[in-house]
């Protein structure tokens, strides 16, 4: 492709964007990258160089595991100095998890890393994949008046909107606007022009060097609170020897039942060195365990607050922090403050 002053690395990992119908089963399955490139001749018109890399194997994003995030992180680190920006084609199902994970793994990132994909395969007449890919590349190659990248952070581009990656969540399996960012404004919106929300975009610090974190600890799980959740089951879960940390998904501003049957096993888990991070089942708003008695009692058991974290950001942040070589108290402090804009300050 064209050899101009800007260069973008396009990484294909799979997802609907590159899928075709298997003639035997009738099911959608991923195809190779050439298939995508052949469908978008427009890519050859960009006045920047676009190189491509394909993951092996390409997958439906439901197959993605933390090991994949580490490989992706290494891939970006390896090519970091050779490119001005990175665009990752990824299935939508776990895109918000991957975007969140990368935001934590790629510390002090100073270049755009944009994830995108589509709801309809690229070979389909009404596909949303073309616009998503073309605009993502344009944004990844854009610079400000000082020649610095416009969006030097991990983001998700979908259906005319650019979101901070670790604030994003998939909310629709049907409509083209598949993602939302309930607790953080859009980074950019595309129409006739691209409007950048410069106050919301992380500022570049060109003097900082990229540092890749290469360890995630997956000994974690979610516990969703619901009316009827059996104390016996909580007790059994909190005694699983390999479990090191839990994300408790509570009601509203971080509230849960106050009965001793419910709270005692949680206290046992924390007293035995476990970490419990409280996030809300509500998409918008924040956990505040000082607002209601029901939240405050959780705090008294040693549960810590995850403020307005999405589940995807909470999970990947927990895996990252658990994997660090620091004390449990330090881990708890780190979990409660923003590392890269994933939660309110
Ligand atoms: N199942 C697909 C995936 O996540 C869905 C998509 O890409 O939209 O890979």
Distance, CA of 221 to CA of 102 (rounded, Å): 19
Structural domains of the chain, count:
2
Residues 111 and 239 in one domain: no
Q: Which of 12, 13, 16 to mutate to test the pocket of ligand 1 (most atoms within 8 A of CB)?
A: 16
Q: Which residue has the tokens 């991957």?
A: 98
Mean pLDDT of the residues in the chain: 94
Q: Which of 60, 120, 175 to mutate to test the pocket of ligand 1 (most atoms within 8 A of CB)?
A: 60
By the 8 A CB rule, do 148 and 46 touch?
no
Provide, rounded to the nearest whole percent, the portion of the chain with pLDDT above 90. Answer: 84
What mean pLDDT is predicted for residues 67-78?
98
Residues 265 and 302 in one domain: yes
Is pLDDT above 70 for 1? no
CB of 60 closer than 6 angstroms to any ligand 1 atom: yes
In a domain, 341, yes or no: no
Rg over alpha carbons for the chain, rounded to the nearest Å, is 21
pLDDT at 185: 98
pLDDT at 234: 97
Q: Which of 158, 179, 212 is the last residue of a domain?
A: 212
Q: What phi and psi, each to the nearest 5 degrees, are found at residue 54?
A: -115, 135
Distance, CA of 73 to CA of 106 (rounded, Å): 7
Nearest to 158 by CA among 138, 182, 131: 131
Residues 132 and 241 in one domain: no
Q: Which of 190, 212, 234 is the last residue of a domain?
A: 212
In a domain, 344, yes or no: no
pLDDT at 4: 58
CA 305-309-315 angle, to 5 degrees, is 90
pLDDT at 22: 82
Mind listing the pLDDT tens digit for each residue in 158-167? 999 999 999 9
CB of 117 closer than 6 angstroms to any ligand 1 atom: yes
Q: Which of 179, 212, 245 is the last residue of a domain?
A: 212
Mind listing the pLDDT tens digit for each residue in 61-70? 999 999 999 9
What mean pLDDT is predicted for residues 287-295?
91
Which ligand 1 atom sits closest to the C-alpha of 95? Answer: 4
What's the Cα-to-Cα distance from 67 to each of 27, 64, 116, 296, rounded to whole Å?
26, 8, 20, 37
Full domain range(s) for residue 206: 6-212
Q: Which of 12, 59, 63, 93 to mutate to test the pocket of ligand 1 (most atoms within 8 A of CB)?
A: 93
What mean pLDDT is predicted for residues 82-97?
97
**Torsion sign across C-alpha atoms 78, 82, 83, 89:** negative
Distance, CA of 338 to CA of 222 (rounded, Å): 21
pLDDT at 215: 97
pLDDT at 31: 72
Residues 38 and 187 in one domain: yes
Label residue 285 by pLDDT band (50, 70, 90): very high
16 is catalytic: yes
Query: Cα(190) to centroid of ligand 1, in Å?
Result: 23
CB of 98 closer than 6 angstroms to any ligand 1 atom: no
Query: Cα(12) to centroid of ligand 1, in Å?
Result: 13
Distance, CA of 294 to CA of 291 (rounded, Å): 9
Residues 224 and 207 in one domain: no
Residues 167 and 306 in one domain: no
What mean pLDDT is predicted for residues 302-312?
98
What mean pLDDT is predicted for residues 143-156?
95
Give one word for 175, left, alpha or beta, with left for phi > 0 and alpha for psi -120 to 50: beta
Beta carbons within 8 Å of 7's beta carbon, 6+ residues apart: 48, 49, 50, 51, 82, 83, 84
Residues 202 and 254 in one domain: no
In a domain, 298, yes or no: yes
What mean pLDDT is predicted for residues 238-255?
97
Give one word for 341, left, alpha or beta, with left for phi > 0 and alpha for psi -120 to 50: left
Beta-bridge mates of residue 8: 50, 85
pLDDT at 2: 43
Residues 56 and 72 in one domain: yes
Which ligand 1 atom sits closest to the C-alpha of 17? Answer: 7
Tell the residue nearest (CA) to atom 1 of ligand 1. Answer: 60
Is pLDDT above 50 for 310? yes
Mind listing the pLDDT tens digit for each residue in 124-141? 899 999 999 999 999 999
Residues 180 and 82 in one domain: yes
Q: Which residue has the tokens 């049957």?
A: 261
Lookup: tokens for 336: 């409660």
What mean pLDDT is predicted for residues 5-26?
89
What mean pLDDT is predicted for residues 100-111?
98
What mean pLDDT is predicted for residues 228-257?
97
Is pLDDT above 90 for 300? yes
What mean pLDDT is predicted for residues 153-173?
97
First-residue to last-residue Cα distance in the chain: 43
Which ligand 1 atom sits closest to the C-alpha of 118? Answer: 8
By the 8 A CB rule, do 93 and 58 touch?
no
């Amino acid at each position: 492709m064209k050899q101009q002053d800007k260069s973008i690395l396009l990484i294909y990992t799979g997802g609907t964007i590159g899928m075709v119908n298997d003639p035997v089963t009738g099911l959608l399955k991923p195809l190779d990258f050439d298939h995508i490139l052949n469908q978008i001749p427009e890519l050859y018109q960009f006045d920047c160089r676009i190189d491509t890399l394909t993951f092996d194997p390409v997958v439906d994003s439901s197959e993605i595991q933390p090991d994949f995030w580490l490989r992706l992180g290494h891939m970006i680190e390896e090519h970091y100095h050779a490119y001005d920006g990175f665009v990752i084609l990824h299935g939508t199902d776990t895109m918000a998890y991957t975007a969140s994970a990368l935001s934590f793994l790629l510390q002090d990132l100073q270049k755009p890393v944009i994830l995108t994909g589509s709801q309809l395969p690229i070979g389909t007449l009404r596909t949303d994949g073309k616009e998503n890919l073309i605009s993502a590349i344009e944004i990844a190659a854009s610079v400000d008046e000082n020649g610095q990248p416009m969006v030097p952070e991990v983001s998700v581009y979908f259906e005319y909107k650019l979101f901070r990656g670790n604030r994003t969540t998939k909310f629709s399996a049907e409509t083209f606007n598949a993602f939302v960012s309930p607790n953080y404004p859009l980074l950019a919106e595309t129409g006739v022009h691209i409007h950048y929300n410069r106050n919301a975009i992380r500022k570049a610090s060109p003097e900082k060097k990229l540092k890749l974190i290469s360890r995630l600890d997956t000994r974690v799980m979610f516990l969703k609170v619901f009316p009827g959740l059996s104390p016996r089951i909580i007790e059994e879960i909190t005694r699983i020897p390999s479990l090191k940390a839990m994300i408790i998904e509570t009601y509203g501003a971080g509230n849960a039942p106050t009965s001793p049957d419910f709270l005692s096993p949680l206290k046992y888990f924390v007293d035995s060195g476990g970490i419990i991070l409280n996030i809300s089942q509500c998409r918008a708003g924040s956990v505040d365990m000082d607002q209601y008695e029901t939240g405050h009692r959780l705090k008294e058991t040693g549960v810590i607050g995850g403020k307005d974290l999405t589940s995807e950001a909470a999970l990947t942040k927990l895996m990252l922090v658990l994997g660090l070589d620091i004390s449990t108290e330090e881990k708890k402090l780190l979990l409660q403050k923003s590392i890269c804009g994933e939660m309110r300050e």
